[in-house]
Amino acid sequence: MADNLTPKQQRAVRALLTTPDAAAAAKDAGVSRETVYKWMQVPAFTTALHAAEADALAAVSRRLVRLADTAATTLEAAMHDEAAPVATRVRAADAVLSRLLQLRELVVLESRVAELEARYAADAGRDGR
């Protein structure tokens, strides 16, 4: 967390990630809701909040990656379970195909963005930017 934040601001950043709204975060941090809203206009505070959000998302992402194999195994078992209702098997198959297509789209987008960034960097280098 940003070193230039006060302890209450640091508590507010953490609370904003775990409470339902700014009022609850303010209560956890021991300040007024208006104070939290003022802090949310301060660049150092919003930078710390965005960094904390990114860290939280990265942690969740790591957990989901660990669960991915189990989830795939569960879907596969549901798809092949002859005793399961057809609707259940179809739903499992649909989930697999939907996620596969989403993953493919993300891979293509990532590739395209990387290509555009490389072109931009090359153009910027030529222009002396």
Domain residue extents for the chain: 1-80, 83-129
Cα end-to-end distance, the chain, whole Å: 32
| 100-129 residue pLDDT tens | 899 999 999 999 999 999 999 999 888 776
Say if residue 31's pLDDT is above 90: yes
Say if residue 18's pLDDT is above 70: yes
Would you state the pLDDT for residue 125?
82
Say if residue 99's pLDDT is above 80: yes
Rounded-to-integer distance, Cα 52 and Cα 3, Å: 13
Is the Cβ–Cβ distance between 52 and 14 less than 8 Å? yes
Quickly state the pLDDT bin for 1 (edges 50, 70, 90). low
| 40-96 residue pLDDT tens | 999 999 999 999 999 999 999 999 889 989 988 998 999 999 999 999 989 988 998
Would you state the pLDDT for residue 129?
63
